[in-house]
Amino acid sequence: MLATRRASVIAALVLLTSAAALPAQARTVNVVVLDWNIFGEGADIPAMAKVIRDSGANIVTLQEVHRRPGADQVRELADALGWDITANAHFGVGDDVGPCDDPQPGKAGNAILSRFPIIERVTIPLTDFATCPVNRSMAGVRLDLGGGVDVRVFTTHLSPGLTAPSVTRREAQAAKILAYFGSRTGLILTGDFNAPPTDALSKRFVSAGWVDTGARYADQPTHGTARIDYVYTRGVTTTGGSVLSTTLSDHRPIVMRMTR
C-alpha cells in the first residue's frame, strides 16, 4: 500500500514538472485596421466615424488630417468614436495647413487612433522644404494589445505627382522609411503612397519583405481607378480585407483583418 502511494506521488510530481516545462500558449489578438485619406478640410467627421464604427475597426490610420484652432479633426474623431484623445490618439505633423506658400493657422499631417492604448509615439520627418512642396512625415505608435502582446503601427502620405522631380521626391521619402525600419518585424505600415502596385516604389517595399495585403485581399481602386493606398505588414498575419465603397473622400478606405 505504501509503495503504491509513493508511486502515485512520484507520478504526480512528474506530471507537474512536465506541465511547468511547457511554454505558455501565446495569446492571439484580433485587430481590424482601417486606413483612409480623409481629404483634409472636406472631411465630414461624424459621417466618417460611422463608417469606421460599422467596419469594426479598432485601429484607424489617417492622412490629410487637419488640426486647426477650434477645428481639431483628431479630437473630433476620437470623441465620435469614444476613444480618449490622450491614451488612444497620435498626430504626426507634416506641415502647416493651407498652401505651402501661404500657410494658415494649424497643422496638417497623419494620425493614428486606436481602441488599444498607445504606449509609444514617434513622428519621423521625411522632408525639410523651406516652403514648397508640402513637407511629409510618418507617424508611428506602439499599441498594447493586452496580455503582453503589442504591435507597432505607422502611417504616411508620400508626395504626389508624375513629373520627374515628384517621382524623385517620393522615392527619397520611401528610402527613408525603408531605412528607418531596417529588418524589424511585428509592423503595420499604411498610407497614401501615391504609386500603383506596378510602380518601382511599390516593388521596393515588397522586395524588402513587406506584404502588400491589398494585392491579396483588396485589389481594387482606392483613388479614382488606381490603387495607391496600402496596408503593408511584416510579421503580422492578415486574414481578410476589403476596399469600402464610400464617397465621403476622394479616397476609399481600406479595411484589413489581422491577428497578432
Domain count, the chain: 1
Residue 26: its pLDDT value, please? Answer: 61
Nine-digit cell string for 29: 489578438
Please indicate, yes or no, if residue 1 is contained in any of the structural domains. Answer: no
> Over 70: is that where the pLDDT of 215 sits?
yes
What is the layout of strands, in order, in the sheet containing 229-234? Answer: 118-125, 137-146, 149-157, 187-192, 229-234, 211-212
Please indicate, yes or no, if residue 18 is contained in any of the structural domains. Answer: no
> Over 60: is that where the pLDDT of 9 sits?
no
Please indicate, yes or no, if residue 3 is contained in any of the structural domains. Answer: no
Task: Please give the share of the chain, as a percent, with pLDDT higher than 90.
Answer: 89
**pLDDT tens per residue across span 173-187:** 999 999 999 999 999
Please indicate, yes or no, if residue 7 is contained in any of the structural domains. Answer: no
For residue 67, give the CATH number of its domain: 3.60.10.10
**pLDDT tens per residue across span 67-86:** 999 999 999 999 999 999 99
**Domain limits at 158?**
25-259
* SS3 track for the chain: CHHHHHHHHHHHHHHHHHHHHCCCCCCCCEEEEEEEECCHHHCCHHHHHHHHHHHCCCEEEEEEEEEECCEEHHHHHHHHHCCCCCCCEEEEEEEEECCCCCCEEEEEEEEEEECCCEEEEEEEECCCCCCCCCCCEEEEEEEEEECCEEEEEEEEECCCCCCHHHHHHHHHHHHHHHHHHCCCCCEEEEEECCCCCCCHHHHHHHHCCCEEHHHHHCCCCCECCECCEEEEEECCEEEEEEECCCCCCCCCCEEEEEEC
> Over 80: is that where the pLDDT of 6 sits?
no
> Over 80: is that where the pLDDT of 219 sits?
yes
The verdict on pTM exceeding 0.95 is no
Residues of 229-239 as b/e, b for ≥16 C-beta within 10 angstroms? bbbbbbebebe
Q: Cell 516652403: give the residue.
A: 131
> Over 70: is that where the pLDDT of 19 sits?
no
Please indicate, yes or no, if residue 11 is contained in any of the structural domains. Answer: no
Residue 3 or 244, more confident = 244
For residues 99 and 116, what is the distance between their CA atoms, to the nearest angstrom? Answer: 34
**pLDDT tens per residue across span 157-168:** 999 999 999 999
Residue 23 or 255, more confident = 255
Please indicate, yes or no, if residue 14 is contained in any of the structural domains. Answer: no
Residue 27: its pLDDT value, please? Answer: 78
Residue-averaged pLDDT of the chain: 92
Work out the burial of residue 45: count CB atoms within 10 Å of its CB; fewer than 13 is exposed, 13-18 middle, 19 or more buried.
buried
Please indicate, yes or no, if residue 16 is contained in any of the structural domains. Answer: no
Please indicate, yes or no, if residue 15 is contained in any of the structural domains. Answer: no
